[in-house]
Amino acid sequence: MLDPFAGSGTTGIAAARLGRAFDGIEQEGVSLDLARVRFIAVPQADSPERILALVMAHAEGEPSPQDLAEGLQVTVRQVHYYRQAALVLGLFTPDVTGWKLTHAGRTICESSAESARTALAQIIRQTPIARLAEQRVRGLKDTGSRIRALAHVLSRCTALSGATCLRRAQTLLSWLDWAKIHGTNEQGLLLFDNISPMSEESEDAAVA
């Protein structure tokens, strides 16, 4: 599918949800930035620590959703949210046989606990949605004000609305606060080879 006037990426998002290949052409940088934010979606997985635990659980193979739910102390449905978050962060890639670790995911599995946290903090802060969040809440001290400011942005640049925007804004801010604590100046790990966009979702996935 080709869209020569891609704009904010609506056609591409629809193509991804249908499992279709997509190419888009757009000359406006602002529209391209908005499309990137919309396409990667807004995370539902609240805990970066659980994202790390999910990645570590795949070090020796792919555990079942039931085993992951028990190990992470979440529901099976929530396992999908954490897989989705790991995919957005470039730690997983889906293929015909299941979920596979990327180079970044394997590197985290082979690192110490603190190095893995530092690496994940760096990854989080480099995602477009986290950068947007940091920009929009900069200078705001009150938690409520930060959530409302970010929820307003999400309501304008995603398909989310109302209470969902507030919940996702709270999740993003929890990611940023966690990343600020763990994103030290420790020597960085070589993590990035191929960051996969979110192009596969289960039928029950709630996405931006």
Interval 36-73: pLDDT, tens: 655 556 778 889 999 999 999 998 888 999 999 999 99
DSSP helix/strand/coil, 81: helix
Question: CA 59 to CA 68: how far, in whole Å?
Answer: 13
* Each residue's pLDDT tens digit, 125-135: 888 788 888 88
112 or 205, which is more confident: 112
Share of the chain above pLDDT 70, in %: 77
Model confidence, pTM = 0.71
DSSP string, 67-107: HHHHHHTS-HHHHHHHHHHHHHTTSEEEETTEEEE-HHHHH
Distance CA 166, CA 152 (A): 8
- Sketch the domain layout of the chain as residue ranges: 2-40, 41-208
Euclidean distance between CA atoms 129 and 125, whole angstroms: 9
DSSP 3-state of 169: helix
Joined together, the tokens standing for residue 175 give: 């990611």
One-letter amino acid for residue 145 of the chain? S
